[in-house]
A and B are shown apart, each in its own frame.
Chain A
Amino acid sequence: MQALNRVKVGLFIPCYVDQFYPRVGIASLELLEKLGCQVVFPTTQTCCGQPMANSGFENMTGACNQLFLDSFSDCDYVVSPSGSCILHLKEHMKVAGKENQSKILRAKVFELVEFLTDILKIKEIKSEFPYRVGLHQGCHGQRGLLLAQMSELNAPAYSKPLGLLRKVKGLELVDLDRADECCGFGGTFCVSEEAISVKMGKDRVADHIRNGAEFITGSDMSCLMHLEGILRRRESKVKVIHIAEILNGSYITAPALS
């Protein structure tokens, strides 16, 4: 842990998390600080560029890429509480004329769970969360960043997010009928294919509820935002919570689950 005091971790907070879920940014920051990292949040950052690129307009992501490169090039690591944004950056972040610098930066980019597990290699978590929790495994984190084994493959099971959640005191994990089915958010898909997006989300929510979850967690707030929209519309008592909030123990003001 000592060495980490000297490494500089740049915190990348996705645009929609910055605007709608500041608590997730705060939890990520506090958690990394508690674990001994020197964390900075360059305020010149905006977005990873994925909303444009996934819509077919990767050619409109030049400015985002430039901002990202300028904001984070002097960091030892870049960490973000979003598997989807990180996957996009790892695969596509490139500034014309600065190919080598881009490549070096892409290799330093980590999703939060990945960073905690593979770089910090944390052994214990001082957090308590006495609730039944279902893990929503975001697809880009899983199938892109390999945060967990994929049910399609004939390969040994593992899960980095579950590994972390199992260290949380009092937390009871809920098994799902479909462990890694997509929630249907899908970026602009959520509005351009509204009917399917919502149906997929309803089915995911139903799986968690059927199996007794009080909270749905995950490391991608975009999936959780979509699932939350569906839960709130049906006035469900089930809540979404980002994994950083659980690990940071920041859910101390939990509303009574009456």
Chain B
Amino acid sequence: MSKPKMDHATASEAFNKDENYVDWHDETLWFVRQKRDKASKVLPEWEALREAGSQIKHYVLSHLDELLIQFEKNAQQNGVRVHWASDADEHNAIVLDLLRKHQITQMVKSKSMLTEECHMNEYLAANGIEVIDTDLGERIVQLREEPPSHIVLPAIHLKKKDIGDLFHTHLGTEAGATDPQYLTEAARQHLRDKFVTRRAALTGVNFAVAETGGFVVATNEGNADMGAHLADIHIACMGFEKIIPKQEHLGVFLRLLARSATGQPITTYSSHFKTPRPGQEMHMVILDNNRSVQLGRPDFRNSLKCIRCGACMNTCPVYRRSGGHSYHNAVAGPIGSILAPNLDMTKNADLPFASTLCGSCSNVCPVKIDIHDQLYKWRQVLAQQGHVPKAKQMGIKAMSVVLSQPRFYQWSGRIGRTLMRSVPFMVNNGLNPWFKQREMPEPPQESFRDWYVRNRQD
């Protein structure tokens, strides 16, 4: 696949043109991180919960074959039809086929990052199907014709005024209105009409329980329920890693999910689906899309433990200042940066480098994915496979040659410092990215080594 239009660094530079806006974006997400801190710190057993979540997922990843078959069997017994998709194209074709069989051309959809990953909306639109996203944030970005910038808070990059202007254009609200209650009410009325008239509803899946064949969808707006309960056909889509062994494990994951995501003790709706109501069809599409490849990479398989809470984004000092769109991938932020190269190394080679490796992501992760270590390991893989720009590779090579020989290193250091003192323009210029907004360190006459030899060895 081709390179993205803008790599992370270029998109970040563009995002940073308006510093006040960046400050607002950073503070908004930091506020969510702080809510997560408060919610997790009132539970004395928090760290044990994370460990339990991580271990259960560990079990899942090493028993996926059994668990998926068990789930399929139980779901079928419950009256759910199960479909298997090996990639995004197959997934989209399955959904389209189901809609065509029922002569349905309009569908409501609650939040599903999986369908973003598959670019399903675009595919269905090209095939004459209108999809209305019913999550408020998702609907907002859909009206703006842009992807979500965050997996839990899709429109977090927008201010109240942006929403007011958007709704004025599309929903006929008063010009200049910014009152959240007024705007939300307008969206509610707009969506209610869609809910009542659509015969098909697609939902995501947070957890699918192997022992019962049921699945759980967590929302704060009840839009998944509203869509699924009113529709003749409910299509639920999930990546195969969403499976958990037992119903009782929900007690661990539902507590971890909402606290990590938004600092709530639990999402407003944790909806359990198991059997279609009389006359309704319920379908489950289970997707691979390279997940089995990731499962086969020992260094990266743990990334499949992710429960999509978004905590790593909220805590990431880079994400907060670069925005979700800079990651040019359905899942942004630290977790997106370790998932994306598995989907397409050429397109996403920049993402593992969009990090300082500070490690905060791994610490907030409710299933203890070693995110920052995986970022480091992806860098090695990408460099080995030739996905690092040639100029950078040559620079690193030159550096390693200098540092390989103590005398050459000393000599280079002395020459470099002398030049910096005598002709500072050699480094203090527009070609040096350090110097653009920072002063260079003041080069001393003497290195530590020179001082040491003079003072301790003579």
B9 to chain A, nearest CB (A): 5
Q: Of B388, B403, B451, which one neighbours A55 at CB under 8 angstroms?
A: B388
Interface set, chain B 408-433, CB cutoff 8 A to A: 409, 413, 416-417, 433
Contact yes or no, A64 B354, CB < 8 A: no
**Residues of chain B within 8 A of A29, CB atoms compared:** 452, 456
A140–B315 alpha-carbon span in the complex (Å): 16
Q: Across chains A and B, which 9 residue pairs bring their CB atoms closest together, nearest first?
A: A56-B383, A229-B438, A186-B356, A63-B404, A25-B448, A152-B363, A143-B359, A182-B358, A56-B379
User: A47 contacts which of B318, B396, B403 (Cβ < 8 Å)?
Assistant: B403
> How many A residues touch the partner, as a band?
35 or more
Task: Give chain A nearest CB distance to B379 CB in angstroms.
Answer: 4
Q: Is A256 an interface residue (CB 8 A)?
A: no
Is B321 a contact of A229 with CB atoms below 8 Å?
no
Overall SS of chain B's interface: helix
Report if A18-B447 is in contact (Cβ < 8 Å); known contacts: A152-B315, A152-B364.
yes
Given contacts A19-B447, A54-B357, contact A230 B400 (CB under 8 A): no
Q: Is the CB of B318 within 8 A of A20?
A: no
Stretch at the interface among B35-43, B151-159, B331-339: B35-43
What is the interface of chain A, defined by CB distance below 8 A to chain B? Answer: 13, 15-26, 29, 41, 43-47, 49, 51-61, 63-64, 67, 139-140, 143-144, 150-155, 178, 180-182, 184-201, 203, 225-226, 228-230, 232-233
Q: Mark B236-270, 1 if CB is under 8 A from A, else 0.
A: 00000000000000000000000000000000000
Known: A143-B360, A194-B434. 5 other contacts (CB 8 A): A18-B413, A22-B451, A41-B449, A56-B388, A152-B363
| Best-buried of A18, A64, A140, A180 by chain B (most CB within 10 Å) | A18
Judging by beta carbons under 8 Å apart, are A192 and B404 in contact?
A: no
Task: Knowing A43-B449, A43-B452, A54-B379 are in contact, say whether A194-B359 is a contact too (CB < 8 A).
Answer: no
Interface size on B, residues (CB 8 A): 74
Closest-by-CB residue of A relative to B10 is A195
Which of B41, B356, B440 has most A Cβ within 10 Å? B356
- A20-B443 contact, Cβ under 8 Å, with A56-B388, A186-B357: yes
Identify the closest chain A residue to B364 (Cβ): A152
B12 close to A196 (CB less than 8 A): yes
The 8 A CB mask of B376-418 against A (1 = contact, 0 = none) is: 1001101110001000110011011001111001000100110
B356 in complex: contacting residue of A52, A152, A185, CB < 8 Å: A185
Question: Cα distance A76–B13 when bound, in Å?
Answer: 47
Q: Are B356 and A57 touching (Cβ within 8 A)? A: no
A198 to chain B, nearest CB (A): 4
B2 within 8 A of A: no
A161, chain B: closest CB distance, angstroms: 17
Flag if B360 contacts A46 (CB, 8 Å).
no
17 A–B contact pairs at CB < 8 A? A13-B449, A19-B417, A21-B444, A22-B444, A43-B406, A43-B452, A52-B403, A56-B384, A57-B380, A139-B360, A140-B357, A140-B359, A154-B44, A193-B8, A195-B13, A198-B437, A233-B438
Q: Which of A24, A46, A143, A190 contacts B358 (CB 8 A)?
A: A143
Q: Return chain B residues, CB-CB under 8 Å to A45.
A: 406
Distance, CA A190 to CA B435, complexed state (A): 11
Question: In whole angstroms, what is the CA distance A181 to B456 when docked?
Answer: 39
Q: Are B41 and A200 in contact (CB under 8 A)?
A: no
- Does B317 count as interface, using CB distance less than 8 angstroms? yes
B179 shortest CB reach to chain A, Å: 30
The 8 A CB mask of B320-361 against A (1 = contact, 0 = none) is 011000000000000000000000000000000111111110
The answer, yes or no, to whether B16 is at the interface (CB within 8 Å) is: yes
B170 within 8 A of A: no
Q: Which of B9, B354, B362, B403 contacts A46 (CB 8 A)?
A: B403
**In the complex, A235 Cα to B434 Cα: how many Å?**
17
By beta carbon, the residue of chain B nearest A177 is B30
Chain B residues, Cβ within 8 Å of A57: 380, 383, 388, 393, 396-397, 400
Q: Which of A43, A51, A182 contacts B399 (CB 8 A)?
A: A51
* Residues of A with C-beta under 8 A to B47: 153-155
Known interface pairs A15-B409, A151-B37, A199-B22. Does A55 touch B396 (Cβ–Cβ under 8 Å)? yes
Q: Which residue of B lies closest to A178 (CB)?
A: B30
| Chain A positions within 8 Å of B448 at CB level | 13, 17-18, 21-22, 24-26, 41
Q: Is B161 an interface residue (CB 8 A)?
A: no
Say yes or no: is B26 at the interface (Cβ < 8 Å to chain A): yes
B65 CB–A CB distance under 8 Å: no
B residues less than 8 Å from A187 (CB atoms): 356
Q: Which residue of B lies closest to A51 (CB)?
A: B399
A155 to B45, CA, bound (A): 10
A18 to B413, CA, bound (A): 9
Please give me the residue from chain B that is nearest to A193 by CB atom.
Answer: B9
Scan residues 8-28 of chain B and give those whose CB is less than 8 A from a CB of chain A: 8-9, 12-13, 15-16, 19, 22, 26
With A22-B447, A61-B400 in contact, do A198 and B383 touch (Cβ < 8 Å)?
A: no
Give the Cβ gap from A113 to chain B, nearest Cβ, in Å: 18
Q: A22-B444, A152-B37, A192-B353 are in contact. Are A199 and B363 (CB under 8 A)?
A: no
- Flag if A60 contacts B9 (CB, 8 Å): no
The smallest beta-carbon distance between B50 and chain A, in angstroms, is 9
Cβ contacts under 8 Å, B8 to chain A: 193
Q: State whether the Cβ of B446 lies closer than 8 Å to any Cβ in chain A.
A: yes
Which residue in B44, B321, B376, B442 is a CB contact (below 8 Å) of A54?
B376
Docked Cα-Cα span, A234 to B355, in Å, equals: 25
Contact B357 A150 (CB under 8 A): no
CB distance from A60 to the nearest CB of B (A): 4
Instruction: Tell yes or no: B436 within 8 A of A by CB.
Output: yes
- CB < 8 Å: which of B363, B404, B437 contacts A143? B363
In the bound assembly, the distance between CA atoms of A58 and B373 in angstroms comes to 14
